Amino acid sequence: MMELSKSTGEADLSLGMGVRVAASIILGATCLIGIPGNSIVIWVILSKMKRRPSTVLLILNLAIADLVVLLTLPPWIYSINNGWTFGEPSCKVVAYLIYCNLYGSVFFITLMSVDRFMAVIYPFASQRWRTERSVCKVLPVVWALAFLFAVPVILLVKVQTIDGKPTCKDDKSDLKAQQITSLAMETFIGFVIPLTVLAVCYAHVIRRVSQMTYKSKNRTEMLIASIVIAFVICWLPYHVFNVFKFASLMVNSDSGAFRVLENVSEVGSYITGALAFFSSAINPLLYAFAAKSFRNGFRSPVMVKIFEQMAQSTKDEYAMERFKTTKMGSIQDL
């Protein structure tokens, strides 16, 4: 379970007012940056682009997932200082929405890397399925998987009273096995497996792109690589502390090791949870920087140009491969 909910429980009471204020500021800034940014990305793609290649469709769904996550943050920010006063049903619904869209965000970033891998390494073969119609068939499957993997959180979270405050957090009383299962899914399906796919795809893409010379390759590949790097930076610390939490669940709850591991995971997850949420706000900033001028980056014509260059880069990759194939065939004919 994302440890932001713990900020309304034991952790925030023990860490003091300063940490609560800092967390509120970080999460508030995340909302102020991410909600308008992702909204603009969605608006530009839907209203300004007649043709949406596969990469742009994935960016659209990534922005939708990130926007929904960020829209759930205001009640968490309020609860950091005032407790969860919205009732248990809303606690479960909001936690479920967060997990659905966080899984979706991870899956779409992974698919973007696979999409670039196919475009660069297998440009001929990928032309058959890297179309708007084909990607639209894949998207419902991805969302269905995200909804499915988020189900365990409904069973785990509940409103509990801690030090006189209602708190929306994991129920540790009788659900240890479910916690272990949920944590393993979150770590492996939500990070380890996607990170492995990202590493393999981009190892091949970087090697292949270094051999190419066409003009549009740099911005497209660097933009998507930046999204992947931001994903790793934002999520790696959180999952490192997830390992401590997993270890605390595996040892005897009466031992000194359990108390040490639990304290480390509580404090670490509290800090890194805010960074993980920032991952949902950072991608629009990357699109803006890709426009060379941050001041002009959120203007719709510039955003459209960035996304159209992604489509053009795919055409260039296909043309380059076709040229090489034709040239090799001519040489063999001689």
- The mean pLDDT of the chain is 75
What is the amino acid identity at position 64?
Answer: I
The confidence band for 254, taking pLDDT boundaries of 50, 70 and 90, is low
Please give the full DSSP string across 50-103, using - where no structure is assigned. S---HHHHHHHHHHHHHHHHHHTHHHHHHHHHH---S-HHHHHHHHHHHHHHHH
Distances (CA, A) of 115 to 28, 56, 121, 212, 244: 33, 11, 10, 18, 34
The confidence band for 297, taking pLDDT boundaries of 50, 70 and 90, is very low
Rounded distance between C-alpha atoms, residue 260 and residue 265, angstroms: 9
Encode pLDDT of 99-110 as tens digits. Answer: 998 899 999 989
Q: Which of 26-30, 97-101, 137-141, 320-324 has the lowest mean pLDDT?
A: 320-324
Does any domain span residue 255? Answer: yes
What is the amino acid identity at position 4?
Answer: L
Higher pLDDT, 70 or 129: 70
Look-up of token digits 């955003």: 303
pLDDT given at position 35: 93
Structural domain that includes position 8: 3-313
What does the block give as tokens for 65? 């997932």
163: left (phi over 0), alpha (psi -120 to 50) or beta: left
Residue 46: other Cβ atoms inside 10 A = 10
* Helix, strand, or coil (residue 160): strand
What does the block give as tokens for 291? 């426009």
Higher pLDDT, 75 or 288: 75
Does any domain span residue 326? Answer: no
Is 132 a residue whose pLDDT tops 50? yes
Higher pLDDT, 253 or 242: 242
Higher pLDDT, 41 or 144: 144
The residue-averaged pLDDT of 56-69 equals 90
* Dihedral angle computed from the Cα positions of residues 190, 192, 196 and 198, in that order, rounded to the nearest 10 degrees: 40
φ, ψ dihedrals at 167, nearest 5°: -135, 130
Distances (CA, A) of 75 to 3, 80, 147: 15, 9, 21
What is the amino acid identity at position 211?
Answer: Q
The residue-averaged pLDDT of 274-278 equals 83
Does any domain span residue 8? Answer: yes
Does any domain span residue 319? Answer: no
Is 334 a residue whose pLDDT tops 50? no
Is 219 a residue whose pLDDT tops 80? no
Is 2 a residue whose pLDDT tops 80? no
Higher pLDDT, 149 or 51: 149
Is 13 a residue whose pLDDT tops 50? no
Share of the chain above pLDDT 90, in %: 15
Q: How many domains does the chain have?
A: 1
pLDDT given at position 19: 65
Residue 146: other Cβ atoms inside 10 A = 21
Does any domain span residue 104? Answer: yes
The residue-averaged pLDDT of 63-80 equals 90
Encode pLDDT of 139-173 as tens digits. Answer: 999 999 999 999 988 888 888 887 778 888 876 66
The confidence band for 114, taking pLDDT boundaries of 50, 70 and 90, is confident
Does any domain span residue 320? Answer: no
Does any domain span residue 323? Answer: no
The confidence band for 81, taking pLDDT boundaries of 50, 70 and 90, is confident
Residues 6+ apart with CB under 8 A from 132: 51, 52, 53, 54, 57
The residues with which 170 forms a beta bridge, in sequence order, are 157
Look-up of token digits 């980056």: 297
Question: What CATH number did the domain enclosing 237 receive?
Answer: 1.20.1070.10
Rounded distance between C-alpha atoms, residue 2 and residue 27, angstroms: 14
Does any domain span residue 206? Answer: yes
Rounded distance between C-alpha atoms, residue 307 and residue 59, angstroms: 9
